Amino acid sequence: MPLNRRKFLGTSAATGVGVAITGGAVAPSVAEAKGRPGRREKRYSFTVLGTTDLHGNVFNWDYFTDKEFDDKDHNDVGLAKISTLVDEVRAEKGRRNTLLIDAGDTIQGTQLSYYYAKVDPITAKRGPVHPMAQAMNAIGYDAAALGNHEFNYGIPVLRKFEEQCDFPLLGANALDAKTQRPAFPPYFMKRLRTPHGRDVKVAVLGLTNPGIAIWDKANVQGKMTFPGLEEQAAKWVPKLRSMGADVVIVSAHSGSSGTSSYGDQLPYVENAAALVAEQVPGIDAILVGHAHTEIPEYFVENKATGKKVVLSEPLKWGQRLTLFDFDLVWAKGRWTVEKVAAKVLNSNTAAEDRKITRLLADEHEKVVAYVNQVIGTSTAAMSTAEGPYKDVAIIDLINQVQRETVAQALEGGAYAALPVLSQASCFSRTARIPAGEVTIRDAAGLYPFENTLEARLLTGAQLKDYLEFSARYYVQTPVGAPVDPAKLTNAEKIPDYNYDAVYGVTYEIDIAKPAGSRIVKLAFEGKDVDPKAEFVLAVNNYRASGGGNFPHIAGAKQVWANSEEIRNTIIGWVKAKGTVDPGHFASVDWKLTRDGVPVF
């Protein structure tokens, strides 16, 4: 992949650096303190602001419900709110004493970002400027790390977005597959002027997620490789220090837990931010992304130096803004970090910045009109509210669409006679299909991810293993103990999107039994499933590529695949049918039991 040289200021992909120098009046954050008699100790303070996992949120708006965003904690979302917080911090600290960075997952996640990737794509001749680029440019971002979802729409869309940004997209471990050199700028460096005639050089190293090689294999295979974060940080941090960096910050699209969802398919850790802090000397702070958790301030001790490195992860979608406050002192001819503290600001305390909402009002209105197009009708209302613990019609709808699509694709071929099953997850507990008119946003709300559809071969024995793995999602609950649906799911912190229901077979999940021995009465067409029987499983590309680390599926034979997003397949199916009737596809094929007695 050619390096975007406008972003990298004409320097080598392997060693280059963009340097910006800020000057002008000194803001109140600069301080001096008395040192030895007759001398004054030179000190300087500055602040790094950070966001992550913005996922296409500019406005405090939910395109799937067509109203202002709200959740049970009354969080707000969007860059328009973040912009107000950023302005407030810059006014307090002095803009020249601040940097603004992001840790990735920027251009996927809302219908706004989807619209400008697929419906009115930024890659078209004389195409539009991506709303996220417009907003981030207007706010004044200094740099952003690449997230894994940046690759969902293919490299051409990502490159066009990069071209439209006034700041670099960083990825020290996103390498050109042929040259093994960085395909994006590895880092960004900025000089901050102090009143002492000694600039502070701040380096931001960007690291992305190795899971891209699995999750977006179709888009990146043979084009880019993604080695581990620890390995690349160990390579680049010493270089940045040797180039005179006084402060090194890592912007990492990688959680802090040390876990991976793709098992042993890659020799790299998915959530490696804390490992980077622990293993690589010379890092002062890490802006954490990817995990969608809130970490205001978390210290990790580096094993080699004993130095504490501060980590912070602001909550997704622009719900929080991280502030890293750095205090530096001039000693022995160089600036030294004396203290770093981190905290997060809640965007629900801020009004939307009218500068941003006015800038993108037309784009917002276009997308609202698009998602409210009527594509069919439904004979009954359906909801995912009980989907995590009951077989509900709305999840059956996803499965029916997938099953029909695969079955039609296999007609006349070598696998046409095999039974087609389908897997689906409850991606959102608030998705619904109303009785009456069905719009694009109703259908798209069932599938908020850009997954595509595949067909893989599994045996009956492998299918049972798959279901047992999925059933770990439930908290073991003894016979006779009360069952609280709010506390029954997400055992081992398994997210809803990593619990699969399989359509086309019948089975029970005995939650009184330990994980690994819960699937009972697994049957196909009324007969026990033969362990040697073959089935075709309609499965999304995330799961088929190893996402969630389900057994057998990543190594299973692929018999069909396409590049159309599943939610578009659902939209097309509803348009073609005209009427959605749950009576034609909904059935209770699985249920939770204890010693054979249904839980619900």
Question: Could you tell me what percent of the chain has a pLDDT over 90?
Answer: 86
> Does position 3 have pLDDT exceeding 60, yes or no?
no
Q: Is the pLDDT of residue 51 over 70?
A: yes
Better-scored residue on pLDDT, 312 or 445: 312
φ/ψ region of 48 (left if φ > 0, alpha if ψ in -120 to 50, else beta) reads: beta
| 106 contact partners, CB below 8 Å, separation of at least 6 | 54, 55, 56, 132, 136, 144, 147, 149, 150, 161
Q: Cα dist. 225→179, 184, 202, 265 in Å?
A: 10, 12, 27, 14
- The CA distance from 136 to 113, in Å, is 14
Q: What share of the chain is helix, strand, coil (3-state, %, to 5)?
A: 30, 30, 45
What amino acid occupies position 86? V
Is the Cβ–Cβ distance between 269 and 256 less than 8 Å?
no
Whole-number Å distance between alpha carbons of 8 and 172: 13
- Alpha-carbon span 233 to 237, nearest angstrom: 6
Give the containing element (helix H, strand E) for 348: none
| pLDDT tens digits, 90-110 | 999 999 999 999 999 999 989
pLDDT at 564: 81
According to the model, what pLDDT value does residue 14 have? 38
pLDDT band at 446 (very low <50, low <70, confident <90, very high): very high
- How many other C-beta atoms can be found within 10 angstroms of the C-beta atom of residue 42? 20
Distance CA 316, CA 110 (A): 13
User: Within 13 Å, how many C-alpha atoms sit on residue 420's CB side?
Assistant: 22
Query: What would the mean pLDDT of 279-298 be, rounded to a whole number?
Result: 97
Secondary structure of 276-327 in HEC code, one letter for each residue: HHHHCCCCCEEEECCCCCCEEEEEEECCCCCCEEEEEECCHHHCEEEEEEEE
Query: Could you give the CA distance from residue 462 to residue 531 in angstroms, rounded to a whole number?
Result: 8
Lowest mean pLDDT among 259-263, 308-312, 462-466: 259-263
Element (H, E) at 532: none
State the chain's mean pLDDT as an integer. Answer: 93
Predicted pLDDT of residue 20: 53
Give the range among 128-132, 176-180, 206-210, 553-557 with minimum mean pLDDT: 553-557
Mean pLDDT lowest among 3-12, 130-139, 392-401, 413-422: 3-12
Total residue count of the chain as it appears in this document? 600
- Confidence category of residue 7, pLDDT binned at 50, 70, 90: very low
Residue 365: C-alpha distances to residues 62, 69, 106, 115, 598 (Å):
13, 16, 20, 12, 47
- pLDDT above 80 for 472: yes
Helix count and strand count (H, E) for the chain? 17, 33
- What pLDDT is recorded for position 65? 86
pLDDT confidence of residue 590: 98
Look at residue 22 and tell me whether its pLDDT is greater than 90.
no
pLDDT-derived band at 240 (thresholds 50, 70, 90) equals very high
| Run of H or E including 546 | none
Instruction: Indicate whether 113 pLDDT > 70.
Output: yes
How far apart are the two ends of the chain, measured CA to CA in Å? 54
More confident residue, 268 or 12: 268
Q: What is the DSSP letter of 116?
A: I
Greatest mean pLDDT among 351-355, 542-546, 561-565 lies in 351-355
Q: CA–CA separation, 63 vs 66, rounded Å? A: 5
Any idea what DSSP says for residue 500? Answer: -
Question: DSSP letters along 378-425, please?
Answer: ESS-EESTTTTTS--HHHHHHHHHHHHHHHHHHTTSTTTTS-EEEEE-
Q: What are phi and psi of 237, to 5 degrees?
A: -60, -45
Angle between helices 131-139 and 79-93 (to 10 degrees): 10
pLDDT at position 108, please? 93
Which residue intervals of 94-130 are DSSP H helices?
A: 111-114
pLDDT of residue 13: 37
| Sign of the dihedral through C-alpha 444, 448, 454, 460 | negative
